[in-house]
Homo-oligomer: A and B are copies of this chain.
Amino acid sequence: MNGAESLVRTLSDSGVDMCFTNPGTSEMHFVAALDKQGGMRCVLGLFEGVVTGAADGYYRMAGRPAATLLHLGPGLGNGLANLHNARKARSGIVNIVGDHASYHIAHDAPLTSDVAGVARPMSDWVRMATSSRSVAADGAAAVEAARTAPGQVATLILPADTAWEAAPAATTAAAPAPRTRVAPEAVQAAAAALRDGDTTALLLGGLAVREPALTWAGRIAARSGCRLISEYNSARLRRGAGHVAPQRVPYAVDSAVAMLKELRQVVLVGAKPPVGFFAYPGKPSRLAPDDCRFTTLARAEDDIVAALEALADELGARSTPPAQVPELERPALPQGRPSPEGIAAVLAALLPEDAVVVDESISTGRAIPALTRGAAPHDWLTSMGGSIGYGLPVAVGAAIACPGRRVVALEGDGSAMYTLQALWTMAREALDVTVVVFANRSYQILRGEFDNVGAGRPGAVASSMFSLDRPALDWVSLARGHGVAAVRCDDLGSFAARFAAALAAPGPSLIELLL
């Protein structure tokens, strides 16, 4: 057994049986070990941002880490943006990053770089393997790190000789520790805050926006009269008919400040005090009033469900019917020119039961969440790190984690360009992903942000930097080039027809909706 074989066996024996890959020469022994040891499914991405984003999506939906296989510092570099997003989403990932053989690094060959230095800013745990004999233990430690609640990005650097030299045996990662139970004092403090009534909010994040936590939060809100709020972004939010619907903190600072301005107390449940996505001259970073008091019921890594259940008991809300549970509403299909509301109506009418929606629709999609509250129950995934290009790769990972569920990826034409290679992996793996590209042919959000930061009126250079219409991107051709069927439409009636057809057909397809 060589080091690579001991590592592959350790990963799969520890329950990491999914590997997203974009390997190179330094990783060839690991690739050979994947065949020899078996037990891991491998999915190839043609760009590393696809690989790391897919691992993020996989964790969000499967609840356990996948491995990635990346090629030295530059390959890891290409995956950093989506590792950033994954880390902010608290997704557990085990990155295996090849490096030159340890004795070769000193020779400064072309691909030599400070791999650990590249890893560190976007990893919670980094280790460089030093011997083939300890690679199995390194792998087990990486799995343990990745599974540490609420989920961590762990990066194990594997010099080629630690893969090809002899190793004694595989090992297995320790079972994950149960999540920490919150102290009774935290429950009592939260209860005291909530007894103050409607100037108090329960702010939900992480596992608190999934079931069964959401139902407990709904009971608490119904009983106490507090407001129920969720963070602007959520790694995985359960919503739709029959579910509790917390109010989402808006993106725009002024809107967020207005929404939160009456609050005197906020009880945090897997969430952090709300802050602006960006800073703007003369506007606050903190969105809640200065005198608002924050009480932490549970941190992201705590046992959030148990904490909410205990809080419900403390408030006598165990049997209180939860508030805000809308019935299934399927609006009539709209016609005419695409509008944010019309697009949202199509989604609300047609989203299939238990869909997984990956939302990277940026400016076009702002109206969608509010108008799809009554759609068929579904999961809604957004970017926790704010780095563009997360959507298509996360859709790949989600689809692999959830066979049988339809994944709907909502993309801006600007954002989809960063990691469009994900389309090829969708085609190769025949994933049930329906991609909708909202083609406004601009970085529309930047037009607004230019104004928001007080930069004045865009001149010729600025306008050119925001415009994607010279030449127009042709998403039908881009999709077909990657092996994905695609259609284009420019009115709501045909969009609805195309969307319904795409949802009904197996495998991936793409709809370009011209705005």
| Interface set of A (CB-CB < 8 Å, partner B) | 21, 23-26, 28-29, 31-32, 34-36, 42, 44, 46-47, 49, 72-75, 77-78, 80-81, 84-85, 88, 100-101, 103-104, 107-111, 113-114, 117-118, 120-122, 160-161, 164, 233, 272, 275-279, 281, 285-286, 383-389, 414, 417-418, 420-421, 424, 427-428, 445-446, 449-450, 452-456, 458-462, 464-465, 468, 470-483
Contact = CB atoms under 8 A, between A and B. Distances in A.
A101 to B, nearest CB: 4
A80 B84 contact: no
A70 to B, nearest CB: 11
A461 B111 contact: no
Given A104-B285, A285-B104, A74 B387 contact: yes
From A26, A72, A110, A424, residue with most partner B Cβ within 10 Å: A110
B110 A385 contact: yes
Number of copies: 2
Contacts of A445: 25
Contacts of A25: 278, 445-446, 449, 452-453
A337 B62 CA distance: 48
B42 A464 contact: yes
Contact of A387 (B49, B75, B286, B459): B75
Nearest to A23: B465
B421 A417 contact: yes
Nearest to A24: B446
A264 B431 CA distance: 59
Contacts of A32: 450, 455-456, 458-459, 462
B104 A84 contact: no
Given A73-B121, A77-B387, A477-B480, 15 more contacts: A28-B455, A28-B462, A29-B455, A35-B462, A44-B465, A74-B84, A75-B387, A109-B276, A109-B386, A111-B277, A114-B121, A160-B278, A161-B281, A428-B470, A474-B481
B473 A110 contact: no
A473 B478 CA distance: 10
Contacts of A107: 275-276, 285-286
